[in-house]
């Protein structure tokens, strides 16, 4: 009887830790900006940022973080790529005022990109 309790306890603990590990997984990557870019109306200086996103389906909510501080949160959608990206990258478009706006983020080894939804952003209409 004692042995069966130990086995059940060990099995339950293993199940708990494995589900906690899966639940703790977030979608994340890194973004290294070489240029000053505008994201959701906010200028971002060159440097390293952490990218985290969550959501179901193709529409996601993206957070750009510098250290532990959230710099900007914006809507995006996951766009499938034909092949895995060879390295981390990003794309921009030139705005009327000459600034560069972030349009997509690509992650090394992944077959998707985060396409920034400028139309869904309230500041995009400014």
What's the whole-number mean pLDDT along residues 77-85?
A: 94
pLDDT at 48 exceeding the cut of 50 = yes
**Percent of the chain clearing pLDDT 90 (strictly above):** 66
Query: Which residues, in sequence order, are bridge partners of residue 59?
Result: 77
Residue 43's pLDDT is 95
pLDDT at 6 exceeding the cut of 70 = no
In angstroms and rounded to an integer, the radius of gyration of the C-alpha atoms of the chain is 20
d(CA 52, CA 37): 18
The token pair that represents 79 in the structure block: 């766009």
d(CA 61, CA 63): 7
Domain boundaries, the chain: 26-125
3-state secondary structure of 101: strand
What does pTM read for this prediction? 0.73
Q: How far is CA 35 from the centre of its chain?
A: 19
Cβ(124)–Cβ(41) under 8 Å? yes
What's the whole-number mean pLDDT along residues 75-92?
A: 94
d(CA 71, CA 45): 11
What's the whole-number mean pLDDT along residues 59-79?
A: 95
What's the whole-number mean pLDDT along residues 34-59?
A: 92
């Amino acid at each position: 009887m004692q042995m069966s309790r130990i086995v059940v306890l060990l099995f339950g603990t293993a199940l708990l830790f494995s589900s906690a590990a899966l639940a703790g997984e977030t979608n994340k990557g890194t973004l290294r900006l070489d240029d000053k870019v505008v994201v959701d109306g906010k200028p971002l200086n060159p440097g390293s940022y952490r990218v985290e996103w969550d959501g179901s389906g193709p529409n996601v909510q993206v957070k750009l973080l510098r250290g532990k501080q959230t710099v900007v949160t914006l809507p995006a959608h996951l766009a499938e790529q034909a092949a895995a990206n060879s390295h981390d990258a990003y794309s921009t478009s030139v705005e009327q005022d000459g600034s560069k706006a972030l349009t997509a983020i690509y992650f090394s080894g992944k077959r998707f990109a985060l396409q920034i939804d400028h139309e869904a952003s309230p500041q995009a209409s400014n």
